[in-house]
Amino acid sequence: MRLGCTSVRLNTVVATTQAPIRPDSTRLALAMLLARTAVWISQRVLRRSGGVIGGRVIVKLVPGAGEMLAAGRRVALVSGTNGKSTSTAMLAAAWATEGPLSTNSDGANTPAGLVWTLANARTTAVVLEVDEAWVPWAIRTFGPEVVVLLNLARDQLHRNPEVGRLARAWRDALSAVPTVVANADDPWVAWAAQTAQHQIWVGAGQIWDEDSLICPECGELLDRTDGWSCTCGHSRPACDWTISDGVIVPPSGSSLSYITLPGPGNLGNAAQAVAAATLMGADPEAAAAALAGVTAVAGRYATVRVGDHDVMLVLAKNPASWRASLELLATRRNALVLAFNADGADGRDPSWLYDVDFSELRGLQVTLCGNRATDLAVRLEMDGVEVTGQYGDVRGALHALPPGPVDLLATYTAFQDARRELGRAA
């Protein structure tokens, strides 16, 4: 029985923790104590979330803490420019059909947050969302059994100015990984995934092709008429898993329905999550069924009642996800609040607004907020979209709209602001 298998692994971990106490594990225990104190202060006194601070304390005091904490565990990593939080939640739900697991559902996806998640994990199975730039580090540190690779596109260009450089770093690091579950439709991802020992290819689709028009292998222009291929012979791999119209098709061929979260991007995410969970031992049908429970990941797509408004919260961080989200929202025809910031995680240069076509929003009632709402107002003016008003915060932008359903689309930090604000208001 599958569950029996899991409990055997759990016993292995218990045996590890009962091994003779090494000096470095004493040190780790001490570091944990200090870290917990730091988190307590951060949460109670400074009213912050604290996990990242705890991780920082541990990493500072015990340099090899990540490796030690990952030893004896079954680790799965999830990364990519778009959809990694959702896909991580999906994989966690799908794999949890096999037994308990831990995951960084707080979205803290850089070393400190990852180490903190492991430090508090009481399970063998761990699913970690990893920031794209930290994938090589996470592979070296945690020795994952599987890495799920979704897509690579422009995002936070002030920090990661070259998609190709990220892909190269992934490719170098992935040679140490037993299996990747990789999106075959993304040329950079497919190229990076080649070095892993085994590949499970998923035809998860690609919403944004403008960062992958040239061949990662030889630099020539790719032929993108049907999938992608190059004269050098590098081309889209044949897929083990595919998607079509609300359905995930596993290698066995029997379709698994997926309708929970909207949009083709989420269907692709679901396919990759189910493929990875299946690899880890889950039953595909059970894994797919478990995805129905993944509805609002860290508040995304959640609907909250605020005064006279039912507000659906949508997060979109970069041009690829704004394009996909606007496509979805334009068909709903609800009044819109667009919340736009240009702080760290949003990308400090909002030029990418011009990679997004807003003309579908013409005729909708639109209000704006966020610290860079003026950049967005100018953008909308150029696409002929009327703006009802520009406000200092989300509540102001909401109040200006008639009662009823409202969709709120926000950049990363604007989304956090909106959740805090509406959390108080709701």
Q: Segment near another protein (CB under 8 A), from 50-58, 92-100, 175-183, 219-227?
A: 219-227
Name which of 283, 261, 389, 244 is nearest 328 in CA terms.
261
Partner interacting with residue 56 (select from Zn ion, another protein, none; CB below 5-8 Å by kind): none
Radius of gyration for the alpha carbons in the chain, expressed in angstroms and rounded: 22
Choose which of 67, 162, 172, 386 interacts with another protein (CB under 8 A): 162
Decide: is 381 part of the binding site for another protein (CB under 8 A).
yes
- CA terminus-to-terminus distance, the chain: 46
Decide: is 158 part of the binding site for another protein (CB under 8 A).
yes
| 3-class SS of residue 315 | strand
Q: How many CB atoms sit inside 10 A of residue 253's CB?
A: 7
Decide: is 58 part of the binding site for another protein (CB under 8 A).
no
Pair 331, 364: CB distance under 8 Å? no
Decide: is 217 part of the binding site for Zn ion (CB under 5 A).
yes
Decide the pairing of beta strands 256-257 and 247-249.
antiparallel
What backbone phi and psi angles, to 5 degrees, belong to 187? -55, -40
Subset of residues 319 to 348 that bind another protein, contact rule: CB under 8 A: 319, 348
Tell me whether residue 61 or residue 157 sits nearer to another protein (CB atom).
Answer: 157
Length of the chain: 426
* Binding-site size, another protein (CB under 8 A): 33
Choose which of 63, 64, 178, 219 interacts with another protein (CB under 8 A): 219
* Least Å from the CB of residue 229 to Zn ion: 9
Q: Segment near Zn ion (CB under 5 A), from 28-36, 227-235, 277-285, 328-336?
A: 227-235
Name which of 214, 217, 219, 226 is nearest 185 in CA terms.
226
Helix (H) or strand (E) holding 414: helix 412-425
Q: What is the dihedral of CA 32, 38, 40, 44, to 10 degrees?
A: -170
Subset of residues 234 to 253 that bind Zn ion, contact rule: CB under 5 A: 234
* 378: its two tokens: 């100018």
Decide: is 232 part of the binding site for another protein (CB under 8 A).
no
* Least Å from the CB of residue 230 to another protein: 12
Decide: is 354 part of the binding site for another protein (CB under 8 A).
yes
* Least Å from the CB of residue 354 to another protein: 3
| CA distances in angstroms from 286 to 93, 128, 144, 209, 289, listed in the order given | 10, 21, 23, 33, 5
Decide: is 232 part of the binding site for Zn ion (CB under 5 A).
yes
Chain contacts with Zn ion (rule: CB under 5 A): 215, 217-218, 220, 230, 232, 234
Chain contacts with another protein (rule: CB under 8 A): 154, 157-158, 161-165, 210-211, 213-214, 216, 219-221, 319, 348-355, 374-375, 377-379, 381-383
